[in-house]
């Protein structure tokens, strides 16, 4: 069994490595670029861009090892039939979900702003989940996809740490997945919220799961690969 150096204690990789998936939450232009939803809510979106090189390295490592990769996008249908009024009205930003902005309609599937950023564009064989909620399991086929593929372990990354990333990790934890949040592959508009989330996840003996840095994850994957040869 290969262990990743993690908190609050080492994380065991599954014996069959393809039971481990990389989940990349909402690395979409709406949250990372000026003119999107994050910007409309008054956030400094440049903060989120710092994780892109490290996340790209982890993504490349998964691609080289032919391991499962899942991207998510927070988005709604163009008629907003999957967007509760309570969600649309929240935030009091300059633009609401569905309004026309500089990158097209805010958080609407298929609009330019809803695309995953250029550096992390999914390859054709990678799974892309469109999700109307903060959590990636709510109103999506994610659980059945994981079950079909026998995936039991998730590395959770993306933005924002305390909203969609944490919600997804909690949903996954309740469904029995062994989850690790990759510390330097997730970011928040609020550094103190990111720190608090990491601490909440790994508190009480890992009540929601584990956290580790990307280099520790990649070292663990390399060790597991060597052990299998
Ligand atoms: C937010 C997200 N923050 N992806 N979405 O509204 O975290």
The distance of Cα 77 from the centroid of its chain, to the nearest Å, equals 21
Measure 227 CA to ligand 1 centroid, in angstroms. Answer: 38
Convert the pLDDT of each residue in 102-160 to its tens digit: 999 999 999 999 999 999 999 999 999 999 999 999 999 999 999 999 999 999 999 99
State which of 107, 134, 162 you would mutate to test the pocket of ligand 1, scoring each by most atoms of that ligand within 8 A of its C-beta: 134
Convert the pLDDT of each residue in 6-58 to its tens digit: 999 999 999 999 999 999 999 999 999 999 999 999 999 999 999 999 999 99
Determine whether the shortest distance from the Cβ of 26 to ligand 1 is under 6 A. yes
Residue 99 annotated as catalytic: no
Measure 192 CA to ligand 1 centroid, in angstroms. Answer: 16
Q: Under the phi-then-psi rule, with left for phi > 0, alpha for psi from -120 to 50, and beta for the rest, what region is 124?
A: alpha
DSSP state of 76: B
């Amino acid at each position: 069994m290969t262990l990743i150096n993690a908190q609050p204690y080492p994380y065991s990789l599954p014996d069959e490595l393809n039971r481990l998936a990389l989940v990349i939450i909402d690395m979409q232009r709406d949250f990372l670029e000026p003119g999107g939803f994050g910007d409309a809510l008054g956030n400094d979106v440049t903060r989120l861009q710092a994780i892109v090189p490290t996340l790209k390295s982890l993504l490349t490592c998964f691609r080289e090892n032919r391991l499962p990769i899942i991207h998510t996008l927070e988005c709604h249908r163009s008629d907003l039939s999957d967007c509760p009024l309570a969600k649309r009205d929240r935030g009091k930003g300059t633009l609401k979900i569905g309004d026309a902005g500089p990158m097209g309609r805010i958080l609407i599937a298929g609009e330019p702003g809803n695309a995953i950023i250029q550096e992390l564009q999914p390859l054709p064989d990678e799974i892309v989940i469109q999700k109307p909620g903060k959590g990636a399991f709510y109103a999506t086929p994610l659980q059945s996809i994981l079950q079909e593929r026998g995936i039991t372990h998730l590395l959770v990354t993306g933005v924002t740490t305390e909203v969609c990333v944490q919600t997804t990790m909690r949903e996954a934890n309740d469904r029995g997945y062994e989850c690790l949040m990759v510390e330097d592959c997730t970011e928040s508009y609020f550094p103190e919220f990111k720190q608090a989330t990491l601490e909440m996840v790994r508190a009480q003996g890992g009540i929601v799961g584990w956290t580790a840095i990307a280099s520790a994850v990649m070292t663990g994957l390399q060790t597991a690969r060597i052990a299998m040869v």
